[in-house]
Amino acid sequence: MALRLTTAGESHGPGLTCIVEGMPAGLTLELEAINRDLARRQLGHGRGGRMKIERDQVEVTAGVRHGHTLGGPIALQVRNRDYANWEERMNPWPVEAELQEVHLPRPGHADLVGTQKYGLSDVRDILERASARETAARVAGGAVAKAFLSALGVQVYSHVIQITSVQAPRRDDLGPEDFAAVDESPVRCLDPEASRAMVVEIDGLRKENESLGGVFEVRAFGLHPGLGSHVSWEERLDGRLGQAMLSIQAIKAVSIGDGVEVAGLPGSQAHDEIFYDEDQGYHRLTNRSGGVEGGMTTGAPLVVRGSMKPLPTLTKPLRSVDIATHEPAQALRERTDSCTVPAAGVVGEAMVAFVLADAYRAKFGGDHIDDVRAAVRAYEQRIGWRKADH
């Protein structure tokens, strides 16, 4: 049984929709948990005026009854409160008002290539769907995936480790308990000193009309070994994680574990040696692989990092070309954020959770959540694996 997550909607349209297919019946969902993740996606120092308008809440319209999944597609809707200000410009149906087209594509955005690909003359027809506002729907769907993983003892968290030149000290010893207060940081950084420096960095560059990028890290704890497979390229879990992370708007690079660092090391310093004893079974003392070897989870914590470019909408626009006249012009200037790396980490959680949930569904199947749990227990017994040991 494979999972499928589909989103629909535009940034300033009536709302966003997420359809999740393939979840087993009997899974407990909490409305508060989904809305909590939607609220977390709106956090972070450097957000713009849109976040003062939107107060994202989910409406479940299918696939759930009395707090439990039914086994069919789950439909989640997030309404755009700002649609009230855009109803003429973004109405699904013709309006009497004469609307001015947007002809000023932004460097670094989908604007220009999108109009070329789809044969459109109005940049707004592209930018509305390409907008990162779409990720609100993904976070709602990811919250369903996180509920499924939690039922199997798996937890997914994120934190910010870099904003432009400011980097937090490396932490290899992080556990679930370390993330309890991560959202209390204005930039969702676990290190207080680095958090303060990141805020200063955002404030300084925002005054210079700049946007900022950075790096966030997603960690998953409690994973069983053997999710994914080495037998074909499309089943390799690291490949699927890379695709999912790179699908997030503005993410330009992904690494798993020490994926970047090990390229500059000799082999003896790049791999995780294997040990065995009666108490722990097979185990490793390091986790340079980030919990994935040969396209499969090892049972160690999964570590995935996403590198985000600065946002392409600038308060001091870059040079561009008017696509109607071909004359030089400044790029479109719209209401924008200065920095969304903290929010991107929450989206990263959703995408990692979805990939992992899909891997569990592929490996263990089951029409009801109890069937999944039974299959997982049988697998643990077969390989002699105890979650408490890892």
CA 265, 285, 255, 345 torsion: positive or negative? negative
* Alpha carbons 340 and 48: distance in angstroms, whole number: 9
Decide if pLDDT at 24 tops 70. Answer: yes
**pLDDT tens digits, 300-313:** 999 999 999 999 98
Which of 37-51, 52-66, 337-351 holds the top average pLDDT?
Answer: 337-351
What's the chain's average pLDDT? 95
- The model's pLDDT over 287-299, given as tens digits with 9 standing for 90+, comes to 999 999 999 999 9
pLDDT band at 63 (very low <50, low <70, confident <90, very high): very high
3-state helix, strand, coil in the chain (%, to 5): 35, 20, 40
The pLDDT score that the predictor gives to residue 52 is: 58
Residues 289, 300: Cα–Cα separation, whole Å? 9
Cα→Cα distances 267→116, 200, 257, 273, 368, Å? 46, 39, 15, 11, 44
Q: What is the pLDDT of residues 191-208, one digit of tens each?
A: 999 999 999 999 999 999
Mean pLDDT of 7-30: 98
The pLDDT of 146-161, averaged and rounded, is 98
On the question of pLDDT at 50 being above 70, the answer is no
Average pLDDT over residues 134-155: 98
| Residues 76/59, Cβ–Cβ less than 8 Å | yes
Q: Confidence class of residue 53 from pLDDT cuts 50, 70 and 90? A: low
The answer to whether 328 and 343 are in contact (CB under 8 A) is no
- Binned at pLDDT 50, 70 and 90, residue 388 comes out as low
pLDDT of 165: 94
Whether pLDDT at 363 is above 80: yes
Q: What is the pLDDT of residue 311?
A: 93
In this predicted structure, the answer to whether residue 389 has a pLDDT above a threshold of 50 is no
- Please compute the mean of the pLDDT values over residues 178-202 and round it to a whole number: 97
Q: With 70 as the cut, is the pLDDT of residue 228 above it?
A: yes
Mean pLDDT of 180-199: 97
Task: Name the class of domain 4-389.
Answer: alpha beta
Q: Are 348 and 139 in contact (CB under 8 A)?
A: no
Type of residue numbered 39: A
Residues 6+ apart with CB under 8 A from 305: 161, 215, 216, 217, 218, 254, 255, 256, 259
Place of tokens 């914590």: 301
All residues at 6 or more sequence positions from 263 whose CB lies less than 8 Å from its CB, including other chains? none
Highest mean pLDDT among 45-49, 230-234, 281-285: 230-234
- Total residues belonging to the chain: 390
Domain locations in the chain as residue ranges:
4-389
Confidence tier at 390 by pLDDT (50, 70, 90):
very low
Q: Record the pTM.
A: 0.95
Average pLDDT over residues 18-33: 98
What is the distance between the alpha carbons of residues 308 and 252, in angstroms, rounded to a whole number?
6
The Cα 189–Cα 84 span in angstroms is 35
Rounded to whole angstroms, how far apart are CA atoms 364 and 347?
A: 26
pLDDT at position 51 is 57
